[in-house]
Structure 1
Amino acid sequence: MTTAPRIEPFTPPADPAQLADLRARLRATRWPDAPDGAGWSLGTDADYLRGLVTYWAEEFDWAADLAAQARLPRFTADVGGRDVRFVHVRAAEGSRGALPLLLAHGWPDSSWRYRKVVPLLTDPGAHGGDPADAFDVVVPDMPGYGWSPAPRDRLLSSIDVAALYAELMGALGYDRFGTAGGDIGSHVSRYLALDHPDRVVAVHRTDGGVPVWAGDLAELAAEEREWFAAAAAWGATEGAYAAMHRTRPQTAAFGLTDSPVGLAAWIIEKLRAWSDCGGDVERSYAKDEILALITEYWVTGTIGSSMRMYHANGAIDPVQLSRRVEVPSGFALFPGDLLRPPRAWLERTTNLVHVSEPPRGGHFAAFEEPELYAAELREFFRPYRPAAG
């Protein structure tokens, strides 16, 4: 007889001593030199980071952010012998036909990515939407990200995390559900659909992942081959971080775990480069929003474990990468995202039923443009709701 997983409330802890240590480290930073006028051309801009660090040390209110997080009910569950922390918010009272929806984040983020959209999805009637579009929303922190402890026995791949999420949804009483994700979360949602097609009603993604094709490139359409070439060029100029994560994540983890400024530089450069911000990161995120994410990584000590997932995913059998998703699939291709796939590739690799191109937003669209993202999910999942069946 299988025992149902333990599910209990979880509150992110506050540790004043840890915060005092963080501020002392920030004030004692040993700064590297930078060429005059380098800006962001060599990586994170030194002048911008100095200003952000001063604000972090002297003004950022971590306690206020924890209080804001507490407004979203969090829980912890023993799933497959692993402690998974997650947000779980049921649809607003009176909603009919609410669809359970699992949202899967990527790197370098956590459930932070979906903070703004949870209220829009669970109570659309209070935010200008149709109450009939309400969801029961589940947003886990992947093991080794955010508040979920890092696995110590072995590295978990996207396939492993998808299996954990399927078990979690079952423990919550959701036999059938939708899933949506971006970045690594896009891969996790894909494997949920591939390995649990009897439970996933539809899958929504904001990217098609890094292109992989085992056959002859001549078999692909011209637009697909162009996309492959663009992906290779992007990897050569922008992919050094991923190569480090995939091959030697533990080496980088020592410095990033010990230095909050190093950690901030590693994350902030990606927030700026991958967002639809026109080069001004604070056009997409307020300082407090940026620092909420970075401080979460600092206090949980999860930058190393988050990077190690790239190593695990790099070991996935190529056969898995070429499987076609037969569950109804939809994509929102935001203009500021990375490696936007052509329609021909999406049709080749999924049972494509929906593609949209929102006017604004980037890699972290759920955080950058929560209203657009929420509207996209409401529209896509409408035909798959229990009441519609």
Structure 2
Amino acid sequence: MTVTPFVVDIPQSDIDDLHRRIDMARWPEKETVDDWSQGAPLAALQDFVGYWRNDYDWYACQRLLNDWGMFETEIDGVMIRFLHVRSMHDDAKPLVLTHGWPGSILEFRRCIAPLTRPEEHGGAATDAFHVVIPCLPGYGFSGKPAVTGWGVEKIARSWGELMRRLGYDRWFAQGGDWGSAVTTAIAVQQVEGCAGIHLNMPIARPLPEDMASPAPDEMRALMKMQHYQDWDSGYSKQQATRPQTVGYGLVDSPVGLAGWLYEKMWAWTDNDGKPEDALSRDDMLDNLMLYWLTAAGASSARLYWESFASFAPKDIPLPVGASAFVKEIIPAPRKWFERHCPQLVHWGELDKGGHFAAWEQPEAFVKELRVAFGLMR
């Protein structure tokens, strides 16, 4: 029941081991195409890993995490570690933010200050939030479940317990990717204390009548869904069916892990041809290190085995806000989504940004949250 501080303290020996493994990497031959259609190109990944090996500084990220303040508490046998940054405004709205795969708590890194100190970032005191950002079980610095059952519904209930332990009896929830599934599960189960949710990956599917005569936004969504099924879903099938098998390579090989994640930073961001158009290398590597240092390749993939079927439309009884970013990998038109939301208070459409909305477009993301949750007071 106790909540105690957690200090991130990675020894230099772990960094030295990483460097040795990179130096000993055995690389495949170059791809036979001149694009990303076979995966991360050899030259691009070698350049990215070369920066990781020779120029990247983990300890700058470690200082950042510790300066924000990390904490831990055990819930049902799993140690949950999380950021907890309170606003100076005592009446700020408590908000739990949930990340996804292959992201981490660092997706929200440039949103923390605008959410907790809104006056310094174009907002007003009434826009202030106390933010709680947990590492999903099996991700980052949280513990790894040793038994089955840790799907999104259980995680949702655990977040309710976490907020209760922090003393918040009325709070809001937000998420994208797995965070969207967890946040939806919070609302569907009406977890005690949650007063409303916001999603940047609203989940909905077309009905037969939608397929018969789709509007332009519906046709675009159908085309993107088909592209995902045909060309972008192999990772999810592997992780949903054989997470242990893929985990051996992800935990043992830094180059293997880098390729597995770097390609998604290309495929899922709003970029002009390379991941670095949307996210800095240091940002991507900070995120990558939360998988490498904690050996989370298998444990993070296991959430797909537990809960991939949970990415299904569900009726949401609480107030809902949603934001549709233009390069979301599986978009849901408002027409499809609002069928499930009798209390849809806000729908935003953004012309920039992809799957990692808070990470790619923090200013727009924060504005969307201010509007949505401002309508749920």
TM-score range, shorter chain: over 0.9
Give matches, 1:51-70, under 5 Å: 51-70=47-66
Contact kept, 8 Å, 1:96 with 1:132, in 2: the verdict is no
Structure 2: runs of 5+ lacking an equivalent: none
Q: 2:68 aligns with which of 72, 92, 95?
A: 72
Paired letter, 2:324: L
After superposition, what is the alpha-carbon deviation per residue over 1:12-58, rounded to whole angstroms, capped at 9, x for unaligned?
Answer: 12111111010011111100002355331210111011111111111
Instruction: Please state whether the residue corresponding to 1:300 is helix, strand or coil.
Output: coil
Give matches, 1:1-389, under 5 Å: 5-35=1-31, 37-92=33-88, 95=89, 97-196=91-190, 199-209=193-203, 211=204, 217-218=208-209, 222-223=213-214, 226=219, 227-228=221-222, 230-314=224-308, 321-351=312-342, 352-385=344-377
1: CA distance, partners of 2:352 / 2:38: 27
After superposition, what is the alpha-carbon deviation per residue over 1:125-183, rounded to whole angstroms, capped at 9, x for unaligned?
Answer: 12221122100100000100011011012241111110110110111111111111000
Tell me by how many angstroms 1:220 deviates. Answer: 7.1
Paired letter, 1:278: D
Contact kept, 8 Å, 1:221 with 1:344, in 2: the verdict is no
2: CA distance, partners of 1:54 / 1:103: 32
- TM-score normalised over the length of structure 1: 0.91
1: CA distance, partners of 2:224 / 2:276: 28
Which shifted more, 346-355 or 191-200?
Answer: 191-200
Question: What is the root-mean-square deviation in Å for CA atoms of aligned residues?
Answer: 1.9
Contact kept, 8 Å, 1:39 with 1:46, in 2: the verdict is no
Structure 1: runs of 5+ lacking an equivalent: none
Contact kept, 8 Å, 2:31 with 2:38, in 1: the verdict is no
Tell me by how many angstroms 1:6 deviates. Answer: 1.2
1: CA distance, partners of 2:369 / 2:93: 11
1: CA distance, partners of 2:360 / 2:278: 6
Which shifted more, 194-203 or 9-18?
Answer: 194-203
2: CA distance, partners of 1:192 / 1:223: 31
1: CA distance, partners of 2:212 / 2:108: 35
2: CA distance, partners of 1:132 / 1:208: 26
- TM-score normalised over the length of structure 2: 0.94
2: CA distance, partners of 1:281 / 1:247: 28
Contact kept, 8 Å, 1:197 with 1:327, in 2: the verdict is no
Contact kept, 8 Å, 2:324 with 2:350, in 1: the verdict is yes
1: CA distance, partners of 2:11 / 2:182: 32
After superposition, what is the alpha-carbon deviation per residue over 1:293-312, rounded to whole angstroms, capped at 9, x for unaligned?
Answer: 11221000112111110110
Aligned length: 373
Paired letter, 2:47: G
Contact kept, 8 Å, 1:155 with 1:308, in 2: the verdict is no
Instruction: Please state whether the residue corresponding to 1:9 is helix, strand or coil.
Output: strand
Instruction: Please state whether the residue corresponding to 2:351 is helix, strand or coil.
Output: coil
Tell me by how many angstroms 1:230 deviates. Answer: 4.4
1: CA distance, partners of 2:270 / 2:242: 30
2: CA distance, partners of 1:286 / 1:108: 16
1: CA distance, partners of 2:214 / 2:85: 41
After superposition, what is the alpha-carbon deviation per residue over 1:202-251, rounded to whole angstroms, capped at 9, x for unaligned?
Answer: 11001123x557xx734878448744564244212211111111111111
Q: Give the % identical residues.
A: 35
Which shifted more, 371-380 or 216-225?
Answer: 216-225
